[in-house]
Chain A
Amino acid sequence: MRSCRHIALCLLLFGCAGTGTLTPPVTPVPLVPAVAQEPDTLLPALGTAPSSLIINATLLTADDKAPRIERGWIHLREGVIAGMGSGKPPTLNSGTTIYDAKGKFVTPGLVDTHSHLGVYARPGVWAHADGNEMTNPITAGIRAEEAFWPQDPGIQKAVKGGVTTIQVLPGSGNLMGGHGVILKLHPRRSTRAMRFPGAKDSLKMACGENPKRVYGKGRKTMPMSRMGSIYLMRKEWIAARRYKRDWAEWSQNPTTVINGRQVAKTPPKRDLVLDTLSQVLDGDILVHIHCYRADEMLLQLKLAEEFGFKVRSFHHAVEAYKIRDVLAKKNVSVSTWADWWGFKIEAHDAIEQNLALLQDAGAIAILHTDSAEGIQRMNQEAAKAYYAGLHSGIKLTEHQALRWITANAAWALGVEDKVGTLEVGKMADVVVWDKHPFSVYATAQHVFIDGWLRHNADTPSAPWSDFEVGQ
C-alpha cells in the first residue's frame, strides 16, 4: 500500500498543486489501487452487531497470557470482545442475549491460511474452476478476490466447523499465481463485502512439481525443471526491483527541463505483475509459498535474501521438520496438514510429527486445510497433529496446538492484532463447542463472526448458497 499511495500522492500533487509551474500539467495515470482495501461501496454495511454474553464456559483463549479460563464469560458487543473473565458475569441491559455454555468450550474463531473455497466452488465443475490462471507461469497481478464465488456451498460448511477467517489463494499451477485475499465468512452478495477490513493481500507463489508439470510436461514451455522455475522467479524479481526504482526516480523528479522549459516526464509504464512484486518488496503484500521440500524452502529463503523480501509462510511444507531450526530462526511460519502425504514424490517424506517438531523448535506452526473437507474439521486435524506429537514423546501443550488453528494462522495473515485469540478489543469471532474441540465428537454449537451469530446448531438455518435452494 505504501508505495502505491506514494505514487498516487505524487500524481495528485503535480496534477493539481503544481499547475502554475508545469506546462503541460501531468496527466494523472489511471491508477488501480493494487491493494484495494476500501469496503464495498455498492452494498450496505452490516450495521451494528447485537450484544451477546456467553456464560459458564471454559474459555480456551489461545492467548499466552491466560490460556484457559474456567467458569468463564465473554461479552460480545458491537462486533468486538467487550469483556471477558472468570466467575460472576456482569449484569447487562436487556438488549443482550445470554448463552449458557455450561460444560462447553469457547475458542477464538478458527483461521485457515490456505483455502480455495469460492475459487474452486462446489459442485466441482469446469465452470467453477477459477483458481489457477494457467496461461503463464507468472500471473502475480491477478486476484483471488475477483474469482471468488460468494455462493459456494462450502462456505457455510466451513462456518459450521468453527471457521471465521480464511485466506483464499490462487492455485499452485503458476510460479507466481496471484493475490490471495483474506475474508470474513459472512454470507454476503459480493466478495468485496467479505474482505477482512484492513488486511493486506498476499502473493501466492509455488515451487516444485506443479509449475513444471503444468508448463514443462504439459506444454513443453518454461519451466520444465526446477532450474527453470528459479530462473523465471529471479528474472521477475530483478524486473520488480528495477520497476520500483524507476517509479521512485520518476516520483522524486517527475519533470525535466527542455529548452529552458520545465516539462513533465512520462511516468514509467504501469505493469500489474511488477506492481504486485514491488509491493511485496515494500512489505505491503505478504508472501505465501507453496513448497514441499526442505531444500526448496531453503532456496526460496536465499531468493528472499537476494531481493529483500520476507516469506511469511511456507505452505504444505511437509519437510519443514528437516529445517525447523532455520525456520524458527528466520521467523517464517509453516502452514501444513496433520497427515496428508503420498500424492506425489515431493510429499513422500511427510511425517505425522511435523507440526509438533516445528512447535518444539520454536517455529510458528500452523495447521491449514487446502480442502473443503478439511476446513470442516480443523479442530480434529489439529488434535491429530497434537496427539501424534505427544505419543512420540514431544512436549506440547493443548494451548500451543490450539494456536496452530487460531493465533499463529492469524499472524501469517498479518491480522494477529485483530483475531486469533480471545482478548478484549479483538473482533468478536468466537466459537462455542459442545465438547472439548480436540474430541472427534465435538461440534460447533454457536459461531459468531464480528459479533453476528452465523451458525446456531440449535436452530436449523436456511442454506446460504442459492445453489442449494430447491434441489
Chain B
Amino acid sequence: MKTILLTLFALTGASVHLEDGSVLRDATVLIENQRIVAVGTDVKLPPGTRKIDASGKTITAGFIDPATTLGLVEISGVAKSNDIDSGGDAVRSAQRADDSYNPHSIVIPIQRAHGVTTVHTAHHGGLLSGSGAVYDLANPDPVRAPASMNASIGGQKESSRGTHIMMLRQALDDAETYSRRKADFERNRVRQFSASRLDLEALQPVLRGEVPLHVHVNRRSDIRTMLKIASSYGIRLVIVGGAEAWQEARALAEAKVPVILNPIENQPASFDAIHSRGDAAAILTNAGVKVAISTFSAHDVRKLRQWAGNAVRAGLTHAHALHAITTHPADILGLPDHGRVKSGAVANLVVWSGDPFEASSKVELLLIRGSVTSLDHRQHRLFQRYRTLPVQR
C-alpha cells in the first residue's frame, strides 16, 4: 500500500461539509501530522505549508461503517478464509475481532476507494459473538478494541427466542456474580457458570458501561426486551439491524439508544422484519434517535454512500444522511475525534468530485490519519491488465 506522508499541508478551495450539517464554500482545511488543525475560509497558512488545490471539489469526513465484517473474511465461500462465524457455543464473548482482523486483506482497499476510511468489525453467529474493533483502513492496529460486545437476538431455527434471551440473561447474571466472587471462583467455591472464565471476563466492561452492547435485533418485541435487559443491568445498548426499530422510536429516543440500520432493507424479508420500511431512518431521526447507516457486510462496505443516498431518497435530509455515515457512527463507537471536519479531529478526509452519494461522483483524494492513501486495489489492477486484449503476460 502506497501512502504519501506530508507533515503540513492544506486542501484549498473546496466545499467542506461541517459537523453541524452546514457546507462551507471555498474553504481551506489545514492538516498537520495526523490531525486537522484548522478549517475555515480565512485560515492563515504557516510558512512551508504545501497547498493541494481542491477548488470545485467537495470534502467530507471519511465515511465510517459501524457494523461490518471487514478484515474477517477474504472470500465468503472459502471456509478457511472466512472467520466471521466460528460456530460452536452460543456464548463466545471472549472472541476478539482484533485477533481475526487481517489488515492486509485485498477486500479493504476496494472499500476505501469509495470513501470509507474507518470501520467497526465484529464476529457473528453466536448469541454473544465477542468484542468488535474499530480500524482506520490504512493501519494494522485498531483505533479501539474492544469497541463493542456483539449479541444477536431473534427468531431461532433450533430453539425458541425465549431460550435465547434466557441464555443471554444467564450469561450477564453469571458475569455479574463472577465479578463479585472472583476469589471464590479461583478456589472453586462458586456454582458452575454458564460460560467460561474468559467469556465472563469479556462481559465485565459491558456491565461497567465502558463498552456498549451491539445487539443485532429486528423484531419490535425483541427490541423492547433488549431495552428492559439493558436498563436492568445498566448496559449501554446499540440496536443493530433494527428493521422494526421505527415502531419503538420514542422509547429508543428516551433511552438514548442509537440504531444502526441499512435503509435499503424495506421488505418483510423474515418474520422478525415484517414491518421493515425504507423510510425508517427518517422516522427514527425525526423522533430524535441517533441513526447510523451500515452495509452489514465486508465486500460491500463501498456501497455505504449509495445506501446513504437511498436514505435521502426515502426522506432523510442530505445532512442527516451524511451524519449517519460520519458523526453518528463515530459517536456510537466512542470516537469523538473521528467523522468530522473540525480542528483537532483525526484527518480522515475524502475529496470528492461532487455529491458523494451520487454514482457520478468519485473519490479524488483520500486521507487517512493525514496520509494521502492510495486508491489502487486488486480490481483496479485486473481492469488495467485487461484494458486491452490480448493481455500481455
Contacts and interface: CB of A to CB of B under 8 A. Distances in A.
A348 interface: yes
B159 to A, nearest CB: 17
B358 interface: yes
Given A351-B383, A441-B312, A443-B313, A122 B269 contact: yes
A215 to B, nearest CB: 16
26 contacts: A122-B267, A122-B268, A122-B269, A123-B271, A125-B270, A153-B267, A154-B267, A209-B77, A325-B389, A342-B107, A344-B76, A357-B383, A361-B389, A372-B267, A373-B267, A380-B309, A380-B310, A384-B306, A387-B360, A388-B359, A440-B306, A440-B313, A440-B358, A441-B312, A467-B268, A471-B274
B204 interface: no
A387 B268 contact: no
Contacts of A386: 359
B254 to A, nearest CB: 26
A438 B355 CA distance: 13
Given A122-B267, A123-B268, A438 B360 contact: yes
B128 interface: no
A319 to B, nearest CB: 9
Contacts of A353: 383
Interface string B374-388: 000001101100110
A459 interface: no
A357 B269 contact: no
A441 B313 contact: yes
Contacts of A206: none
B264 interface: yes
A345 B78 contact: yes
A122 B298 CA distance: 24
B362 interface: yes
B299 interface: yes
A440 B359 contact: yes
Nearest to B264: A373
- Sorted from nearest, which 5 A-B pairs have the closest CB atoms? A440-B309, A344-B77, A342-B299, A383-B359, A343-B76
B266 interface: yes
Contacts of A357: 383, 386-387
Interface in B267-308: 267-271, 273-275, 298-300, 302-303, 306
A393 B224 CA distance: 52
A341 interface: yes
B63 interface: no
B77 A125 contact: no
Contacts of B357: 440-441
Contacts of A321: 383, 386
A341 B271 CA distance: 28
B43 interface: no
B383 A342 contact: no
Interface in A418-446: 438-443
B270 A123 contact: yes
Contacts of A449: none
Contacts of A344: 75-78
Nearest to A152: B267
Nearest to A374: B264
B269 A123 contact: yes
Given A123-B269, A123-B271, A440-B313, A349 B382 contact: yes
A259 interface: no
Main secondary structure of the interface of B (DSSP, over half): loop
Contacts of A324: 389
Given A123-B271, A377-B264, A441-B313, 11 more contacts: A339-B303, A344-B78, A352-B383, A373-B265, A377-B310, A380-B306, A380-B310, A383-B360, A439-B358, A440-B312, A440-B313
A468 interface: yes
A369 to B, nearest CB: 13
A6 to B, nearest CB: 43
B271 A342 contact: no
A226 to B, nearest CB: 16
Interface centre among B107, B271, B362, B386 (most CB of A within 10 A): B386
B362 A387 contact: yes
Nearest to B312: A441
A357 B382 CA distance: 12
A383 B358 CA distance: 9
Contacts of B358: 439-440
A441 B354 CA distance: 14
Contacts of B77: 209, 343-345
Given A154-B267, A339-B303, A345-B77, A392 B360 contact: no
A44 interface: no
A339 B383 CA distance: 13
A212 to B, nearest CB: 12
A2 interface: no
B383 A392 contact: yes
Given A441-B312, A441-B313, A157 B266 contact: yes
B357 to A, nearest CB: 5
Given A342-B76, A441-B312, A468-B268, A123 B274 contact: yes
B107 to A, nearest CB: 6
B146 to A, nearest CB: 27
A342 B78 CA distance: 10
A235 interface: no
B379 A352 contact: yes
Contacts of A123: 268-271, 273-274
A471 B220 CA distance: 13
Interface in A50-107: none
Interface in A338-364: 339, 341-345, 348-353, 357, 361
A471 B270 CA distance: 13
Interface string B120-146: 000000000000000000000000000
Interface in A371-405: 372-373, 376-377, 380, 383-384, 386-388, 391-392
B289 to A, nearest CB: 23
Nearest to A436: B360
Contacts of A349: 382
A124 interface: yes
Contacts of A343: 75-77, 299
B20 to A, nearest CB: 23
A124 B386 contact: no
Contact of A440 (B268, B300, B310): B310
Contacts of B299: 341-343
Contacts of B302: 339
A322 interface: yes
Contact of A125 (B74, B107, B271, B306): B271
Contacts of B271: 123, 125
Contact of A351 (B267, B270, B309, B379): B379
Nearest to A441: B313
Contacts of A373: 264-265, 267
Contacts of B274: 123, 471
A120 to B, nearest CB: 11
B299 to A, nearest CB: 4
A392 B386 CA distance: 12
B317 to A, nearest CB: 12
Interface in B225-248: none
Contacts of A442: 313
B381 to A, nearest CB: 9
